Structure 1
């Protein structure tokens, strides 16, 4: 069969599919058999044969390895020999290999360093790691070119100084048996290694891990790396996360991760009209960033001139003319980051004078207004006001597919014209950590439903499970007839039974008819 002209044929294939492709297309074969009475030549790979058969392992890597250019197998006909080779590439075999699938054999070969034919000197410390050319070439077009291309690597030891051993091990485990376990400390290094060796499936795995771990502390690091690795979708999702609310943007700009951002990434943030922060906070955050970067450079001091040099053109994207005159002189007039000429120019713009050839932006940011609304899970309007609330817990679990801010809960009241309850409310994480707590207090209301607001809104992470927890003491209240899923535009809310509930509230009936959310529209 003709060899494919696709130089990245490994992309999208798992280990078994790569093995089959290598066999079918006779790529990088290193052993030949003369098979059957007619002596038909069939090429194969020593690695696969030895990893699946103790006989072949002894033949190629034993005390007296086979040295013939062509191995004669006259007692098996070609069609049966091909079936044997195909099964060895994709299914089971004998001895230590017995009962193991291909991935398990690969793992055994890697873990025990059996029949390795290539060595890597990895990381700053130069740790030696053994591997098999066949497996690497079968899973990566970069390794295929390295070992079997026009100018194959001939060194006894291949130096890989830009990847640390822990990450190189993750790469090998993925190539050999598709184990893609990454952590917050290894994901960026693994992403770099996967990009370097064109392992697209591992790149996608790292991207998914980063996307699912976006929060106020991590988003700057993820933004930075998505820019470096040209992951435009992930980069956009980071921006959307930061811009979704003033509260969220403030926490991001106050985070340690913000200090690690590059000037290029910060420019993307500050130039965007959707950044929902007052200009004075943006300026203070940039001064903090500049001080940090000046301190990191031994040749640079935290002087105003050095900070201005570090900030460069970033300072021109702070929209000083949108500040009040008092605020501007309070936050920016105390240092010399801006020149006297620039301060006068900005002051004139603030009070309404036109200034020729100004470099400072006077256009307001077009931040979207957050919409606070009640997400109600009510299926049918209720007239039943017989739900007892005498201190037992009403609770329900929920999750949502997109990030949002949760401001509080919507609860049922009584049918009296005026009623009073003693109420305590909590929001719990999946691990039962309290994320928000409204302490026990008396509430007098007169409507069928009423809201209980948290002191501070809570960031809700997509597809994470949360528990709404309520303890009420007072007159009987209304009970709801509920659905387990609510769609609102692109938001999908799902509700689940909670073991915290001791008052019978569940997915289909009881208290807690809704969530008080803040959505960006």
Structure 2
């Protein structure tokens, strides 16, 4: 499986005919071990993006000691650069670090990686056995074999070295291009602290572009917390997730699971096109022509998970009806479903998805208007906020005209540390009441916990409007707590106590971050 920087993948064709839609990857642990390491190694650039986190240096919750500077090893086996290294190393950790990947006193050699790209790695049985029950059983258990060389074809050499580095001297130094392979190694050799660090790293790397692929991996590695995080991103940012290049290479089981999801926040016509793109990619993986008949064949029962009758009639007519993926009878029956009083029975779900229900944070206790305020002359209303859990901001609620009905143009913006995360120039109609009027971003924006963001709005319309008063510096909505503070971007008077942007519209999550 290959990934480019955008997260696109290309699965091998070896057994797709016998396992339609199944990715050529780990399968079950222990299966196809001779090729697993190549698969993971090719897969990992998915995470290497401009937004990827820096190398993971351990977590306080894991009680990992800070990284050490380990001197390079001598090119001569059995030697170190410092002949007096025992006396020079003040701690057990430093002395063990000197033995990491060192031939000196090693009593086992690992031949790591698939045939043709192996790497020989020396190690010391005692150290490995104290950190892994698998290594203990391998070297000292009742069925232990006294081998001087052990082949490990299913683990990537770089990942195995990361595992050994942790076992030797508690250092966790994760990189985007090896983190999944390291997670596999940590799971295989039952090293839970390292596995948790890998999962934490993946969670911080998670975006809509790689969420579908990481969903399949979280299922494979049996990591329910990571799986839940993937679902939260996929649900809230479903359009971005299914239109990403990586979606075309998810396995068939993951495709079915996503299409069965009731809470996907995406128009069915966009989802239909994404599934057609997946079918095209699957045909190419099987070396068959991506014609409608073959696309239907590779989709199988997954086709009937698309809620085509839940589309608008025009969307159906311009999309699925002309795709040639449906039979003539299915096309006719769906048209009758839209237009006839006596509707035929369909194999497709006939009701639209519920999507996610948005929540609203109200930061003012009342609103008011006065003859000399609130005025708009191209100035910015802005407020800073932070939350204690990850959420997805959908849009803002704004006040409108206090002097009769009026149309407004508005530019809304969301920033973090001065960087614009999202913006939208749009319009809304104010009926002259004190009601708020909702304006939305094109896509929901993921908001991390314990970080301040800036919400801004620049309005143009009737000068006088309602404004909020009796503002709150802290508001709890469900299980999410918002904190507000004044923003230096605000040039029109909006602050914590009063002004504009009375509401933040968001999707909540169930994470405990």
TM norm structure 2? 0.67
Query: 1:225 deviation in Å?
Result: 0.7
- 1:408–1:457: 8 Å Cα contact kept in structure 2? no
* 1:163 alignment counterpart: 155
Contact 2:394 2:441 in 1 (8 A): no
Name stretches of at least 5 consecutive residues in structure 2 with no aligned partner. Answer: 1-60, 66-77
Which one has the largest radius of gyration?
Answer: 1
Aligned to 1:370, what secondary structure does the other structure show? coil
Structure 2 distance, partners of 1:165, 1:370, is: 46
Cα distance per residue 1:76-129 (max 9 Å; x no partner): xxxxxxxxxxxxxxxxx972222x3x4343333326665333222222421222
Q: Give every structure 1 segment of 4 or more consecutive aligned residues whose post-TM-superposition deviation is greater than 6 Å.
A: 12-16, 379-394, 413-424, 441-450, 471-479, 501-506
**SS of the residue 1:433 aligns to:** strand
| Greater RCO (CA < 8 Å, at least 6 residues apart) | 2
Match of 1:241 among 213, 223, 233: 233
Contact 1:407 1:453 (8 Å CA) reproduced: yes
TM-score by length of structure 1 reads 0.67
Contact kept in structure 1, 2:430 and 2:437, CA below 8 Å? no
- Seen in structure 2, the aligned counterparts of structure 1 residues 179 and 465 have a Cα distance that, compared at 3 Å, is farther
Cα drift, residue 382 of structure 1 = 9.1
Work out which of the residue numbers 255, 265, 269 in structure 1 matches 2:258.
Answer: 269
Which of 495, 509, 516 is residue 484 of structure 2 equivalent to?
495
| CA RMSD, Structure 1 to Structure 2 (Å) | 4.5
Q: Could you tell me whether the CA contact under 8 Å between 1:368 and 1:520 is conserved in 2? A: no
CA displacement at 1:268 relative to structure 2: 1.0
- Counting only pairs closer than 5 Å after superposition, residues 182-331 of structure 1 correspond to structure 2 as 182-244=174-236, 248-297=237-286, 299-323=287-311, 327-331=315-319
Show the counterpart of 1:429.
416
CA distance in 2, matches of 1:150, 1:322: 61
Shift of 1:315: 1.1
Tell me the distance in 2 between the aligned counterparts of 1:419 and 1:334. Answer: 42
Closer, same or farther: CA 96–264 of 1 in aligned 2, 3 Å: same
Deviations 1:153-208 (A, max 9, x none): 43333222222222222222222333333344322222211111111222222223
Aligned equivalents of 2:382, 2:434: Cα separation in 1: 19
User: In the TM superposition, what are the counterparts of 1:22-421 in structure 2 within 5 Å?
Assistant: 95-98=87-90, 100=91, 102-110=92-100, 114-124=104-114, 125-244=117-236, 248-297=237-286, 299-323=287-311, 327-350=315-338, 351=340, 353=342, 360-368=347-355, 370-371=357-358, 373=360, 375-378=361-364, 395-400=382-387, 401-408=389-396, 410=398
In terms of mean alpha carbon deviation, does 481-490 or 316-325 score higher? 316-325
Greater alpha carbon shift after TM alignment, 217-226 vs 125-134: 125-134
Distance 1:253 1:170 in 2: 33
> 2-side partners of 1:257 and 1:409: how far apart?
34
SS at match of 2:193: helix
Aligned length: 426
1:456 maps onto 2:445 in alignment: no
Structure 1, unaligned stretches of length 5 or more?
Answer: 1-11, 17-60, 64-92
Q: Within 5 Å, give how 1:496-515 maps onto structure 2.
A: 496=485, 509=497, 511=499, 514-515=502-503
Q: State the alpha-carbon separation in 2 of the partners of residues 443 and 339 from structure 1.
A: 44
DSSP 3-state at the match of 1:301: coil
1:1-40 matched pairs, under 5 angstroms? none
Tell me how far apart the structure 1 counterparts of residues 173 and 384 of structure 2 sit (CA, whole Å).
Answer: 29
SS state at 2:139 partner: helix
